[in-house]
Amino acid sequence: MSFESNLNSIQENIKAACDRAGRAPSEVKLLAVSKGHSIESIREAAEYGVHHFGENKIQESKLKVSQGPRSAEWHFIGHLQTNKSRDAVRLFHMIHSMDSMRLAEAIQENCEKQARTARILLEVNVSGEASKHGFRPDEVLDQLEDLNALDRLEIHGFMTMAPWTPEPEKTRPTFQGLNELRLRCEDAMGVPFPVMSMGMSNDYEIAIEEGATIVRIGTLLFGKRSYKNKQSKPPQNQTL
């Protein structure tokens, strides 16, 4: 199928999921996961009105940000090492994967050096899988209180990944859990956390029904990636 057909199908599904949840489609942002895809594919996406792109490798992102469409807004969605935080602060509109205070402090330091602020989502390991990064749900509130001291960080909300399953309905408890956590944090902190980055190619409709405001979709939009070596392959049975 063509990119246009893929995009139309996804947009129809987003609208249907919003209708089921009593939400407006405008509440949900499509983040095109462009990792592993060419600059030409990104430019084509921009021609069809897609302007939000997700990357997970700093080196690959440098080239894409410099040569990609000017309308593009770049989001970092992978595991971020502290020694890469300087580039991440410079390159990305939002970092979805802040998963430790050590990383938060590194981002703060680099923001100070660059006279910037960083838009941040806290990554939460709702499912408790050992293979995933992120804060435990029971420690998020304490971490938010500590993060108040880091004035260069703007905490906009939360990100999570559900366990991969061939039955998308089984991901619902993960998304429900993150939304419930968001509500508890808003009540305790007295501030909104409006951004909920959750849902991928396999389960984005369920995520929307449970409150997602950003869905991260790659394979359904661009098609399968061509990985050149084993190190660059995604985890088994897991796609974005």
The rounded mean pLDDT for the chain is: 94
Indicate the residue type of 130.
A
pLDDT for 1 equals 80
The domain 3-224 is placed in CATH, from the list 3.30.530.50, 3.20.20.10, 3.40.50.2000, 3.30.70.1250, at 3.20.20.10
Cβ atoms of residues 152 and 107 within 8 Å: yes
Q: Does residue 40 carry a pLDDT above 50? A: yes
Q: Does residue 238 carry a pLDDT above 60? A: no
Q: Does residue 170 carry a pLDDT above 60? A: yes
Task: Dump pLDDT digits (tens) for 208-229.
Answer: 999 999 999 999 999 987 655 3
Distance of CA 30 to the CA centre of its chain: 10
pLDDT for 240 equals 62
**Overall average pLDDT of the 188-213 stretch:** 98
Indicate the residue type of 22.
G
Beta pairing partners, 73: 52
Render 64-81 in DSSP notation, one character per residue: HHHHS-TT-EEEE-S---
33, 77, 138, 206 from 214: Cα distances, Å: 11, 12, 23, 12
Q: Does residue 75 carry a pLDDT above 60? A: yes
- Torsion over CA: 140, 145, 90, 49 (sign): positive
Task: Dump pLDDT digits (tens) for 41-73.
Answer: 999 999 999 999 999 999 999 999 999 999 999
Other C-beta atoms within 10 Å of 125: how many?
A: 18
First CA to last CA distance, the chain: 18
Nearest to 238 by CA among 81, 152, 145, 127: 127
- Domain-by-domain residue ranges, the chain? 3-224
User: From its phi and psi, is residue 115 left (phi > 0), alpha (psi between -120 and 50) or beta?
Assistant: left
Question: Cα separation of 159 and 153, whole Å?
Answer: 16
Strands (E), 160-235: 195-197, 214-217
Task: Dump pLDDT digits (tens) for 87-137.
Answer: 999 999 999 999 999 999 999 999 999 999 999 999 999 999 999 999 999
pLDDT for 237 equals 42
Beta pairing partners, 217: 32
Q: Which two tokens stand for residue 169?
A: 């309905």
Nearest to 216 by CA among 205, 204, 206: 204
Q: Does residue 178 carry a pLDDT above 90? A: yes
